[in-house]
Amino acid sequence: MNWNNDAIFKALNDSTRRLILDELSERNELTLYELTTRLVMKHKLSISRQAIAKHLTVLEDAELVKSRKKGKYRVLIFNNDPLKNLLKGWIE
């Protein structure tokens, strides 16, 4: 698969987006509500679900986050394949 490296770097440029990836990598999947709760409670961020949704759009554009429907909820999943591919070129 051919990922857009500029989109990956843009996504990783923001500390909130990196926290989102940290949280998603700790858990297999989170809903937007669960993610928001973890960011507010654990990391003491003052952020709305709408703001997180905007960050998720950037992460999804970089293909670092995928989502799927699970019942009536949208579940967010961390996809580390673009990062592996990016680093593979530098490490190998």
Which of 90 and 86 is assigned the larger pLDDT? Answer: 86
**Is the pLDDT reported for residue 2 higher than 70?**
no
Q: What are the structural domain ranges in the chain?
A: 5-87
Question: What is the Rg, in whole angstroms, of the alpha carbon atoms belonging to the chain?
Answer: 13
Q: How many CB atoms lie within 10 A of CB 90?
A: 6
Which pairs from 29-32 meet CB under 8 Å and 24+ separation? Answer: 29/70, 29/75, 29/76, 29/77, 30/75, 30/76, 31/73, 31/74, 31/75, 31/76, 32/56, 32/74, 32/76
Mean pLDDT throughout 59-64?
A: 96
Structure confidence by residue, pLDDT tens digits, 17-27? 999 999 999 99
Grade residue 9 by pLDDT with cuts at 50, 70 and 90: very high
Any idea which fold 5-87 has?
Arc Repressor Mutant, subunit A (1.10.10)
Tell me, what's the pLDDT at 63? 95
State the pairing for strand pair 73-78/30-31: antiparallel
- pTM of the predicted structure, to 2 decimals: 0.90
